[in-house]
Amino acid sequence: MGIIGTWKTQLRTTFTDGDPAIPQWQFEFENGDDAGYFPVGSAVWTVHSSMTPTVAGIRALLLQALHPGAMAGVHAHSSFREEPLGRLANTIRWIFTVTYGSRVAAQEGSAFVQRLHTRVHGTYVDSRGEEKPYSAADPDLIRWVHLAFTDAFVAAHASYGGSIPGGVDQYVAEWAQAGELMGLEDPPRSEAELRSQLAAFDGELTASEQVRQALTYIRRPPLPWSQRLGYQVLFAGAVATLEPRHREMLGLRVPSLGPVALPLRTAVRLVLGMIRLGLGPEGPAEAAAKRRIRRVTGAAADGASGVASA
């Protein structure tokens, strides 16, 4: 296969929970009888089809960990210790389904995740030291996860990506659809609303032993040697985009890149470029979605523009 071929296969398996083949579900986005929630050229499509979600995923996990209810659910019910990349693969599948799938596929995929959430429940110790019950289906936890993802997508793209059609407000307004699909009422629809809703959680956030354990896996996931240096650059890039108060709670500082004698932003963009080179200019999910859109609209999908319809 050769060194380059081996590296590309290892890179792909990182995003597919160890499967060297492209998952069949990515090709299934060609199916369906509608154009989906997010047109090609929309803010959501632009951000999610770039490489910046790779950084955003790390940042979202770091931020989500600070809510003790969310962390308790992950700690008690997730297999992140044994299969940390499996959780990543499942998250990628849901995001891709909502972004690229038909409306029916996005609705069914979100309903499936909601059913899984009803099985995740227990108790946790809140920031005031009181024991409280939780369920992954709790509206507050659904809101926190949605806010953490939205904030991560925005922050990562602002630092390491290009422009967003319509700006951050447009992205937040469009991605509100994903929150609604998960049963969230009144998701933020502007950057100001996103900041306000995030700030409302400040009193609930806390560091804990569970957070420290999760950080061990987020900081050093079980990657092949060929990807470890690149991941450390992306981890540093994710940490750099966190709000200072969240970095302090996590006990993190922007890591030194050590032997990588490049400015952080340049180094992150270089690694993202290498990932794009390894995975190809357009992923199979995006290509399949464009074929569906061409079929159902009778128009060329490439370069099309539009605004997501709620």
If one compares 64 and 125, the residue with the highest pLDDT of the two is: 64
Between the alpha carbon of residue 93 and those of residues 25, 79, 243, the distances in Å are 8, 17, 27
CA dist., res. 270 & res. 116, Å (int) = 37
Instruction: Give the pLDDT confidence score for residue 22 in this predicted structure.
Output: 72
Instruction: Give the pLDDT confidence score for residue 281 in this predicted structure.
Output: 81
CB atoms within 10 A of CB 167: 13
In a domain, 274, yes or no: yes
CA nearest 227: which of 279, 155, 265, 162?
279
Q: For Cα atoms 179, 118, 24, give the angle at the middle one, nearest 5 degrees.
A: 70
In a domain, 104, yes or no: yes
Phi, psi of 188 (to 5 degrees): -65, 145
In a domain, 279, yes or no: yes
Q: Has residue 158 got a pLDDT over 90?
A: yes
CA dihedral 54, 56, 58, 61 (to 10 degrees): -140
Instruction: Give the pLDDT confidence score for residue 283 in this predicted structure.
Output: 85
Averaged pLDDT for residues 283-299? 92
Averaged pLDDT for residues 250-278? 83
Pick the range with the lowest mean pLDDT from 25-29, 59-63, 81-85: 81-85
Structural contact between residues 7 and 278, judged by C-beta atoms closer than 8 angstroms: yes
199 token code pair? 């700030």
- The set of residues, in sequence order, having a beta carbon less than 8 Å from that of 31 and lying 6+ positions away, is 102, 105, 292
Averaged pLDDT for residues 173-179? 98
CA dist., res. 156 & res. 61, Å (int) = 13
Structural contact between residues 156 and 59, judged by C-beta atoms closer than 8 angstroms: yes
Averaged pLDDT for residues 248-275? 83
Q: Has residue 72 got a pLDDT over 80?
A: no
In a domain, 174, yes or no: yes
If one compares 186 and 220, the residue with the highest pLDDT of the two is: 186
In a domain, 304, yes or no: no
Between the alpha carbon of residue 91 and those of residues 58, 113, 165, 181, the distances in Å are 12, 10, 25, 15
Number of domains in the chain: 1
Range of the domain at 186: 2-297
- What is the pTM assigned to this prediction? 0.87
- The set of residues, in sequence order, having a beta carbon less than 8 Å from that of 226 and lying 6+ positions away, is 6, 7, 10, 11
190 token code pair? 């502007």
In a domain, 309, yes or no: no
- For 29-61, letters b (16+ CB in 10 Å) and e give bbebeebbbbbbbbbbbbbbbbbbbbbbbbbbb
CA dist., res. 41 & res. 215, Å (int) = 35
In a domain, 303, yes or no: no
In a domain, 282, yes or no: yes
